[in-house]
Amino acid sequence: MTKQRPTILITNDDGITAPGIKVLIELMQELGNIVVVAPDSPQSGMGHAVTIAKPLRLDKVDIYEGVEMYQCSGTPVDCVKLAVNKVLHKKPDLLVSGINHGFNSSINVIYSGTMSAAMEGAIEGIPSVGFSLGDFKQDANFEATRPFVTEVAKQILDNGLPSGTLLNVNFPPGQEIKGLKVCRQAIAKWEEEFDERLDPNGRRYFWLTGKFVLNDKGEDTDEYALNEGYASIVPVHFDFTSYNAIPTLKNWNFSV
CB 65, min distance to its own copies, A: 25
Distances (CA, A) of 112 to 33, 67, 105, 116, 202: 26, 26, 10, 6, 33
Can you tell me the distance from the alpha carbon of 129 to that of 104, in angstroms, rounded to the nearest whole number?
A: 12
**232 assigned ligand-binding residue:** no
Give the nearer residue to its own copies in terms of CB position, either 1 or 105: 105
CB 103, min distance to its own copies, A: 14
Can you tell me the distance from the alpha carbon of 168 to that of 185, in angstroms, rounded to the nearest whole number?
A: 9
CB 70, min distance to its own copies, A: 12
- 10 Å CB burial of residue 137 (0-12, 13-18, 19+) is exposed
Give the nearer residue to its own copies in terms of CB position, either 164 or 227: 164
Give the nearer residue to its own copies in terms of CB position, either 3 or 204: 204
Can you tell me the distance from the alpha carbon of 144 to that of 43, in angstroms, rounded to the nearest whole number?
A: 25
CB 4, min distance to its own copies, A: 23
**13 assigned ligand-binding residue:** yes
Give the nearer residue to its own copies in terms of CB position, either 28 or 84: 84
Give the nearer residue to its own copies in terms of CB position, either 44 or 173: 44
Give the nearer residue to its own copies in terms of CB position, either 4 or 252: 252
SS (H, E, C) 147-182: HHHHHHHHHHHHHCCCCCEEEEEEECCCCCCCCEEE
Phi, psi of 181 (to 5 degrees): -125, 130
Can you tell me the distance from the alpha carbon of 76 to that of 150, in angstroms, rounded to the nearest whole number?
A: 22
Can you tell me the distance from the alpha carbon of 136 to that of 114, in angstroms, rounded to the nearest whole number?
A: 14
Can you tell me the distance from the alpha carbon of 215 to that of 188, in angstroms, rounded to the nearest whole number?
A: 5
CB 10, min distance to its own copies, A: 19
CB 1, min distance to its own copies, A: 26
Radius of gyration of the chain (CA): 19
Q: Binding site: which residues?
A: 13-14, 44, 100
Q: Binding site for a divalent metal cation: which residues?
A: 13-14, 44, 100
